[in-house]
Structure 1
């Protein structure tokens, strides 16, 4: 290593998902908020959403995206207001193969009865709240 300091194996493993954002996020009180940490994990979550038919919303974001970082605390806070909805955060850099179809961050996909029924591009607390209310 030239001029660098060695990292321990724990430090080399970067935090992923919601923890990897580095943001101070509200605590989820209902257990209805998850984050996908890999393509395989996101595929499992999508399979569960489609087979359980539980209403769900997926927030496709990126840790480097300023707009994503601004709306993510609201997304987490709203998970407490809509306990019957399943909330998922998926970082496009951690799930690159599964998120190839995402062209704009943040993108929100809304599911009902196992099917995607709506999509919202961009942020906006009131817009997001209204869509969650509509699909809950």
Structure 2
């Protein structure tokens, strides 16, 4: 996949179909583990700029589950997304926060808040 998302990182999931993304969402809701979903697109310059930081943070914030969902690979399950990147934060299986746009320090602060 473009952007260099490493599918081997256990703390970072990168579903590449609507079915896989639906499974990931079900896991987030069932596990009650705090999670962050990064909705992006391979053609989005800002998404590609923040992706390396998102990957780095997935190692730094080990108590959070990280998910990168490409809106073009998961069109049915991401059709509510209007801006890329969009970050959604989950706690106890429920969405509790949302952040639009990039900004490494903004993202780090939000991750710290939700971890």
TM-score with structure 2 setting the length: 0.95
Q: Residues 126 and 48 (structure 1 numbering): CA distance in 2 closer, same or farther, change over 3 Å?
A: same
Q: Find the counterpart in structure 2 of residue 111 from structure 1.
A: 90
RMSD of aligned residue pairs (Cα, Å): 1.4
Q: Find the counterpart in structure 1 of residue 69 from structure 2.
A: 90
Q: Find the counterpart in structure 1 of residue 2 from structure 2.
A: 21
Q: Find the counterpart in structure 2 of residue 57 from structure 1.
A: 36
- CA distance in 1 between counterparts of 2:42 and 2:13 reads 16
Task: Describe the SS at the equivalent of 1:36.
Answer: coil
1:102 aligns with 2:81: yes
In structure 1, stretches of 5+ residues that fail to align are: 1-19
Shift of 1:21: 1.3
1:36 aligns with 2:15: yes
- CA distance in 2 between counterparts of 1:22 and 1:88 reads 14
Structure 1 contact 55–112 (Cα < 8 Å) conserved: yes
Q: List aligned pairs for 1:114-129, cutoff 5 A.
A: 114-129=93-108
Could you tell me which of 79, 100, 118 is aligned with 2:58? 79
In structure 2, stretches of 5+ residues that fail to align are: none
The alignment covers a number of residue pairs equal to: 114
Q: Residues 22 and 59 (structure 1 numbering): CA distance in 2 closer, same or farther, change over 3 Å?
A: closer
> Runs of at least 4 residues of structure 1 off by over 6 A?
none
